[in-house]
Copies of this chain bind each other. A is one copy, B any other.
Amino acid sequence: MIVVMNYGAGEEQIAAVVARLEQAGFQAHVSRGVERTIIGVVGDRTRVAEMALEAMPGVERVVPILQPYKMVCRAFNENGSVVRVGHLEIGGEAVHVMAGPCAVESREQLLAAARAVKAAGATILRGGAYKPRTSPYSFQGLEERGLEILAEAREETGLLVVTEVVDPRTVELVARYADILQIGARNMQNFCLLREVARVDKPVLLKRGPSATIEEWLMAAEYVMLGGNHRIILCERGIRGFDSYTRNTLDLTAVPVVKHHSHLPVVVDPSHAIGKWRFVPPMALAAVAAGADGLLVEVHPDPMEALCDGPQSLTPENFAAMMERLRRVAAAVGRRIAEPQAPVALAG
């Protein structure tokens, strides 16, 4: 932490800041430049931030130096964390593709989607039973019935299931059915929900909020990890941009940046980021080339009939074609696309 004093700040003002810092148990190092005096502070950034030094006379700015996250920091696990989900490992050599429809609409639709994505090589099935929708007039999901259908699809196909949880009151219910609990972008800073999933023994897929900085995203993960759940998968899904050609701006650079600053695995959701199916395959390839540990891709047996996000969903044919290309790109960067196992493997 660095305290920058105003141009012309007086000695007594400098002394007051130092006194206040030392009183609070920090070490303060005064450094007098030609134009300004700055005070270096050794100690916990969060506590310094809460001292409101900027409200003191003569203080211009307080500049944070260290990252505020601790448990999700790369230094916590230099080799990178591998998150176990059932028989799968996310964050290792294999890249996992999680695919399926935006929303569970019916038993028929979901089973068709599950079979198709498994046939093409996905290992995890995605599908929303609880849907956070911008409009109250939009389809809001099948809720518990949707969870049952997801579980049935898992049983039939051996795919594991990732599904969104939106309410702290239903975390336990969703955790009974799901293999991975998804925190959606709009809930990234729903701290009640984060505290609740932190208590559950299921991995959490934490989407980045639409205008979250990487630091805020990692701080949200810190809530979950501090709460006791260490199995966290981060998911980049596009940030708010100014251009309407795509729904959001996919910030792929977040992949190597997050992997540099944190030990957690990172996956990418190009479907929500872009909003147009046509651009999903090239960006899925790019995500793997950039180092992503997995993908979340929307696939619908009949996108035109989808109750949610049809325009961004791939058909099973397009998805299968994309998987072929993904395998080649994964190999080119020294990885491989994970292959699904037979359902029997799940018995244990």
* A228-264 near B? 1/0 per residue, CB < 8 Å: 0000000000011111111001111101110011000
User: Quick one: which of A109-153 are within 8 Å of B by CB?
Assistant: 132-139
A166 surroundings in chain B (CB, below 8 A): 191-192
A282 partner, pick from B169, B250, B291, B332, beta carbons under 8 A: B291
Give the contact stretch, choosing among A47-55, A81-89, A92-100, A199-207: A47-55
Report the separation of the CA atoms of residues A55 and B276 in the bound assembly, to the nearest whole angstrom.
9
How distant is A278 from chain B, measured CB to nearest CB, in Å?
Answer: 7
Report the separation of the CA atoms of residues A186 and B185 in the bound assembly, to the nearest whole angstrom.
11
Interface check A343, CB cutoff 8 A? no
By secondary structure, the A interface counts as: mixed
* A32-57 near B? 1/0 per residue, CB < 8 Å: 11111010101110100111111110
Number of interface residues of A (CB under 8 A): 111
A55 touching B311, Cβ below 8 Å = yes
A42 partner, pick from B29, B33, B311, beta carbons under 8 A: B33
A328 partner, pick from B42, B242, B277, B333, beta carbons under 8 A: B333
A277 — nearest CB in chain B belongs to which residue?
B55
Interface check A157, CB cutoff 8 A? no
